Amino acid sequence: MNHATGAPEVRIADYWLHEELPARNTEMAYRATHRVLPRVARLAILRPAFAGFRHAEAQLTREACVLETLHHSGVPRVFECGVLDRRPWVASEHVAGTAIEDAAAAHPLSISDALAVVRDAAAILAHAHRRRVAHRDITPRSIVRTPQRGFPVCITCWGDAALDDRVLPRPDDPGARFYRAPESADGDRGGTAADVFALGAVMFEATTLVLPEPIQQFPGVPVAFHHLLAAMLARSPGERPTAEAVHGEAARLAELYSDGDAAIEEVEVELVDISRTQAALPNLGWMPADRPAPPAQHALGSVRRRRDTPR
């Protein structure tokens, strides 16, 4: 019996299921605890309506295989897999933390925080890319700050990853289109270069609260950081740095712009009130506008900006 709700507890294999967690529309996910080990897991299981649907089954099991391939503390661990009533399930590490989407919901990340996230997320992607794995679904929801884990950032949502260029189609997430590389416009999520682009788009938005359309120098973003983001957001995949190169440059800049290392100046800028809802988002240039964007609301405010340290 669940003493908190009075409802009977449900168990799958050796895992007791508790509250439901966000999941893809083909799956259900729960916070689960092992009946013997002191282990908290995220247990995902295929919805009954998709039993026997090969693409949905393959996506769930492929994510487990990809996670098992990667050996990095910034990637969730897989504990166990199984099948219940013809429905595959996967128990993996329950990642507790704050997604970038929530961390930058009201205020932009500081430059030092943003550089640290770029550095650490790029290190995870470089590890995956060396193993011929492209994530293909980097969004503000899939980058999670995890100060209680061994690595300060975790990348989740590997269900759409490409392993050795072998992928299966699945319905797209309309909200993720703002972080897609230009070469992904035809429905192909792209490869490792598209991961770099998506990371750049996510972090530009997290630092400025504005989507790049295209990227422009923004008050509060140091020139050196702007140059890195602009390179990551290059329209041609061949012009973008690798995740390894992004990691190296972000690590260098993180040292320069750590708290207290650079002077602070107040800059009056025009702040644009935007929303992630489709109706309020502007056209990004490389995608056709679905509908006319409403006029932006403007206000004057001050932002803290670090002066660039000479290179």
Specify the 3-state DSSP secondary structure of 20: strand
Under CATH, domain 98-261 is a member of which superfamily? Transferase(Phosphotransferase) domain 1 (1.10.510.10)
Closest CA to 133 of 168, 166, 164, 159: 164
| Backbone angles phi and psi of 60, in degrees to 5 | -65, -45
pLDDT in tens, 169-186: 554 565 677 888 888 765
Average pLDDT over the chain reads 79
The whole-number average pLDDT for the span 77-85 is: 93
Range list for CATH 1.10.510.10 in the chain:
98-261
pLDDT in tens, 134-157: 999 999 999 999 988 889 999 999
- Report the half-sphere exposure of 194 (CA within 13 A, side-chain side): 24
The CATH fold of domain 10-93: Phosphorylase Kinase; domain 1 (3.30.200)
pTM for the model stands at 0.77
